[in-house]
């Protein structure tokens, strides 16, 4: 029996390889903060490249091909961008990350949150409407129901929050303009200070990582159930070049951290 909700999704945006690759990169970032914090800047830059590609592709498909992009497709890809909040919480208190990396992360988050505002306020009226438009947000909800107002309010608040943090960073750059290069390119704290702080707040640090794992599990659940409930087809074939590449990248990033844990000495600041 055919699924009455069935739609053909855009595998280039959220195919199985793209999804798993992204999940693995965020998982790697969480693990790295515990076992190899000095590798966090490199991992966060890799994720930033993926997020920038997501944002550009999302904007192009939603704005230039409005009648060919379904509402649930825009929501799914936006969820990936909002999942970038995992990146923000992972790098915000990592003393090895530069302010430039933090600034780029805030700009990408701001872009996704701004698109989310457009999606909930205007986009749902312009994008192609899928037959069902179900999404998971701790229960099965309809995108065009009361959830729309909740999504709009939270998106506006998130956009304002990201903008405020970005402005603070820009003001900091202005105040330190005489020494702007080291201020923006050097790590945000000295290793010995980071070590002292991390030891003092060890329980809080691990609580944050546990919360991030819960957030990642929630993100996976939201995306996968939304795809399943709306009968999205054409996005679960891993044996395509466009899916194998991000999948292998995600496995490689995670494998690198596992290799470091097994065969190399853990970062001294976390010993």
Give me the pLDDT at residue 264, please: 62
- Residue 47's pLDDT band (cuts 50, 70, 90): confident
Residue carrying the six token digits 């399943």: 228
Provide the token pair at 168: 């603070």
φ, ψ of residue 170 to 5 degrees: the values are -65, -40
Residue 101, both tokens: 């990396």
Q: What is the pLDDT of residue 191?
A: 44
Burial class (CB in 10 A: 0-12, 13-18, 19+), 178: exposed
Domain count, the chain: 1
Calpha distance 250→259 (Å, rounded): 14
pLDDT at 57 over 70: yes
Give the pLDDT score at 224: 93
In whole numbers, what is the pLDDT of the chain averaged over residues?
83
- Residue 2 in any domain: the answer is no
Instruction: Encode 40-70: b = buried (16+ Cβ within 10 Å), e = exposed.
Output: bbebbebbbebbeebbeebbebbeeeeeebb
Q: Is the pTM of this model over 0.85?
A: no
Does 21 reside within a domain? yes
In a domain, 45, yes or no: yes
Q: Which whole number is the average pLDDT over 250-268? A: 75
Confidence of residue 38 (pLDDT cuts 50, 70, 90): confident
* Residue 1 within a domain: no
14-31, pLDDT tens digit by residue? Answer: 999 999 998 998 888 888
Confidence class for position 235, pLDDT limits 50, 70, 90: very high
pLDDT tens per residue, range 95-154: 677 888 888 888 988 999 999 999 999 999 999 999 989 998 888 999 998 999 999 999
Q: Which of 76-85, 111-120, 154-163, 219-228 has the lowest mean pLDDT?
A: 76-85
With H, G, I as helix, E, B as strand and everything else as coil, classify residue 134. Answer: strand
Residue 268 lies in a domain: no
Tell me: the pLDDT tens digits for 153-205?
A: 999 999 999 899 999 999 999 999 888 888 888 877 644 444 445 454 677 77
Question: Which residue range forms the structural domain that includes residue 28?
Answer: 8-255
Residue 266 lies in a domain: no
pLDDT of residue 214: 87
Decide if pLDDT at 271 tops 60: no
Answer yes or no: is 236 within a domain.
Answer: yes
């Amino acid at each position: 029996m055919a699924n009455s909700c069935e739609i053909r999704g855009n595998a280039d945006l959220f195919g199985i390889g793209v999804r798993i690759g992204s999940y693995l990169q965020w998982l790697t970032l969480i693990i790295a903060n515990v076992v190899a914090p000095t590798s966090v800047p490199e991992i966060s830059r890799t994720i930033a490249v993926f997020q920038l590609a997501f944002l550009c592709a999302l904007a192009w498909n939603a704005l230039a091909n409005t009648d060919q992009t379904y509402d649930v497709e825009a929501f799914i890809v936006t969820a990936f961008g909002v999942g970038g909040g995992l990146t923000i919480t992972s790098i915000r208190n990592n003393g090895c990350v530069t302010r430039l990396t933090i600034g780029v992360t805030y700009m990408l988050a701001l872009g996704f949150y701004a698109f989310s505002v457009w999606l909930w306020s205007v986009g749902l009226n312009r994008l192609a409407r899928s037959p069902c438009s179900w999404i998971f947000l701790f229960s099965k909800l309809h995108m065009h129901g009361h959830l729309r107002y909740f999504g709009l309010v939270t998106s506006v608040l998130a956009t304002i929050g990201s903008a405020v943090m970005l402005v603070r960073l820009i003001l900091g750059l202005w105040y330190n303009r005489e020494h702007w290069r080291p201020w923006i390119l050097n790590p945000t704290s000295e290793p010995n200070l980071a070590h002292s702080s991390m030891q003092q707040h060890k329980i809080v640090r691990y609580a944050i990582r546990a919360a991030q794992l819960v957030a990642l599990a929630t993100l996976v659940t939201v995306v996968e159930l939304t795809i399943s409930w709306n009968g999205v087809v054409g996005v679960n074939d891993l044996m395509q070049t466009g899916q194998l590449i991000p999948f292998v990248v995600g496995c490689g990033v995670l494998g690198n951290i596992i290799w470091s844990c097994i065969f190399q000495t853990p970062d001294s600041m976390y010993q």
